[in-house]
Structure 1
Amino acid sequence: MTINRANVSAIAEDLYVWLPPKRGWGLANCGLLAGQRTALWIDTPYDPSLAAEFLAESRKRLADGVDVDRIVVTHANGDHLWGAGVLPDAEVIATREALEHIHWEPTPQQTHALVAGSDPDSPLGDYLRRHFGQFDWSGTEPVHPDTVFQGELELRVGEYPVQITGLPAAHTGGDLIVHLPHQRAVFTGDVIFGSTAAQPGDHPSHWAGPLENVIAACERILATGARIIVPGHGPVLDRPGVHEHIAYLGHVRERTHALHAAGLTALDAARRIIAERRYPELGLPERLVLTVAAEYRHLDGSEVPNILAAMNQVAVVAREIDEDADHRAPRPRADGRTTA
């Protein structure tokens, strides 16, 4: 693996967060809530190597004889689910709606074969290898939740209540949030992608939407009164950070609806929003292709596309962005100076 050890830190009483050391596809935040006789994971790392690392770090923080026996999965994207295999006896909990997404997304071994076997000279093959080639799912079996629910579910980890709320389709169909009232913390999954001035994150990628639902989910998170908000990716946020993310989502929604009304295709609308560079500090702007396409589907009433077709569009736009950056890069002159 090329990923260095992630940071595990305490953020509240008996609550820890595992933060990957860099931003990018597949590098999701995970949580550990430690009780005296039981422990809970909130999400898992993407592949067995990273999950084993998080497990080893978790066990350092647990009382003797205690192990992680439950895992709440905020949604069914593999980067939050597939690491559960390192805890084969743990109860995996998800929303009933997440089961549909599990069937839609390629399995771990299918994804591994796709990354390894795609033409590296094609936009998709090159993109997959650059962003997913560091993970290894060659021996990873699909993960199936043991417990599914609809609406709300309340657990206890020792003395601590855990309030789990299923959401209308937002990032995916089957999103949930985990509210820990004693710790005044919420784990949001990919309803929120974190970013701060000190630690810029990446553009979100939303598969389901509409953005109205994503914004409503963010407002629901604020309504819990939590002071610590752990997004699916990026740095931990405070309440003003969530308000800033809502403003970002509102901007993307406004521009998408305006460009849809102007007759642009979803792909060209995404290109236009990227070119406007409203949030230049955020990485992976090509992921706007997915978010804009999801919003267009709700506006047009169209069907969800094949995931590979969607990722191919992402890869094509990423190559266009790279080529444009190369074209605009300063070039050396004969006198040693540079020119754009």
Structure 2
Amino acid sequence: MTTRTANFHSIADGIYAWQPQQRGWGLANCGLVTDGGRALWIDTPYDRTLAAEFLRRTRAVLAPGTEVDRIVVTHANGDHLWGAGVLPDAEVITTREALHHIAYEPTPEQQQALLQNLDKDGDTGAYLHEHFGCFNWADTPPVVPDTVFTGELELRVGSIPVQVSSLPSAHTSGDLTVHLPTRSTVFTGDVVFGSTAEHPGDHPVHWAGPLGNVIDAVERLLDTGAETVVPGHGPLLTRADLRAHAGYLRYVRDRAHALHAAGRTAAEAARAVIDEARYPELGLPERLLVTIGTEYQHLDGTEPPAMLEVVGRMAHLARQREARTA
């Protein structure tokens, strides 16, 4: 079971990052922007316990009388959204398209029930308990955004301008990025999963795609000129790291297209890319089943399967790989 600890630290004047110190599912990076008696969160941790710790660490650095009154959510996966309940009076801001992904994912109550009811000896149950059993959503109400937008949104926290940009369908159907131009910092959400030579991360998982849109989003992030990149998961990145991540995405996209043209199924393509071991330092290789499966859906014009079916496929592949390694 994952041990949940996080590093909360200043990355620029008035800008802080909350970064879990482990790899794995659900351990998302979050941000705090504060200046002039105002404060804004960028994303929230997965459950109430982690979110309460993020709030405690936040309040320790805020000026007296300052409260977090706005939360910008980069996308609607629960590990970036569900912790907003610890700030019930804060305005939750996200893209209009994110509402579609909220409808696709299970609610916190449904996910908690799923963990309790699935057979722990089966592939899916064992996988979910291994990677999600450390979280608790028993007292987590669904989060309903207060403000949704499309295109660009200009905010200000004291003297700090905050540029929020929605993206075409990429990691999910409602991604956004947050650029802090006066601090040369950008928060990417899950269009970027961080990994460096010193601090390897996990394989990205992309639910909506296509990968061409994810690559375009990375190029847009580079175009901001930001020097500090806070990915949705993993270590802080430099511009060189961001370019390397774009190279990874192009590799996965190109291999998926080549294997699709060769008549291989999405599952066969994912296994082939895993076996090529081009990025052996990355964890959770079974997530390539999702990302490559998503790319195949765009190539074939098909609809995505149910979320639990997707998780079951990953769980089965992970167990097969563990057995083969053993």
The AA in structure 2 aligned to 1:260 is H
Matched, 1:6 2:13: no
**After superposition, where does 1:202-221 map in structure 2 within 5 Å?**
202-221=202-221
Query: Once the 2 structures are TM-superposed, how far is the Cα of residue 36 of structure 1 from its aligned partner?
Result: 2.2
TM-score, normalization: structure 2? 0.99
Relative to structure 1, is the Cα distance of residues 223 and 7 closer, same or farther in structure 2, using a 3 angstrom cutoff? Answer: same
Matched, 1:63 2:39: no
Give the secondary structure class of the aligned counterpart of 1:226.
coil
Alpha-carbon distance between aligned partners in 1 of 2:26 and 2:115, rounded to the nearest angstrom:
13
Q: Spell out, residue by residue over 1:15-35, the C-alpha distance to the aligned partner (whole angstroms, 9 max, x if none).
A: 000000101000000000011
**2:74 aligns to what?**
74
Say if 1:34 and 1:61, in contact at 8 Å, map to a contact too. Answer: no
Q: Spell out, residue by residue over 1:223-246, the C-alpha distance to the aligned partner (whole angstroms, 9 max, x if none).
A: 001000100000000000000000
Unmatched tracts of structure 2, length 5 or more? none
Matched, 1:86 2:86: yes
Alpha-carbon distance between aligned partners in 2 of 1:103 and 1:185, rounded to the nearest angstrom:
31
**1:145 aligns to what?**
145
TM-score, normalization: structure 1? 0.95
**2:116 aligns to what?**
116
Alpha-carbon distance between aligned partners in 1 of 2:283 and 2:34, rounded to the nearest angstrom:
33
The structure that has the greater radius of gyration is 1
The AA in structure 1 aligned to 2:118 is S
**After superposition, where does 1:216-235 map in structure 2 within 5 Å?**
216-235=216-235
Alpha-carbon distance between aligned partners in 1 of 2:159 and 2:166, rounded to the nearest angstrom:
23
Say if 2:119 and 2:126, in contact at 8 Å, map to a contact too. Answer: yes
**2:303 aligns to what?**
303
Aligned identity (percent) is 62
Say if 2:2 and 2:131, in contact at 8 Å, map to a contact too. Answer: no
**1:100 aligns to what?**
100
Query: Once the 2 structures are TM-superposed, how far is the Cα of residue 321 of structure 1 from its aligned partner?
Result: 1.2
Alpha-carbon distance between aligned partners in 2 of 1:21 and 1:283, rounded to the nearest angstrom:
14
**1:23 aligns to what?**
23
Q: Spell out, residue by residue over 1:268-325, the C-alpha distance to the aligned partner (whole angstroms, 9 max, x if none).
A: 1111111111100000000000000000000000011100111110101111111121
The AA in structure 2 aligned to 1:43 is D
Alpha-carbon distance between aligned partners in 2 of 1:208 and 1:100, rounded to the nearest angstrom:
11
Alpha-carbon distance between aligned partners in 1 of 2:305 and 2:283, rounded to the nearest angstrom:
24
Query: Once the 2 structures are TM-superposed, how far is the Cα of residue 2 of structure 1 from its aligned partner?
Result: 5.8
Unmatched tracts of structure 1, length 5 or more? 327-340
Aligned pair count reads 326
The AA in structure 2 aligned to 1:149 is F
**1:333 aligns to what?**
none
Alpha-carbon distance between aligned partners in 2 of 1:224 and 1:173, rounded to the nearest angstrom:
22
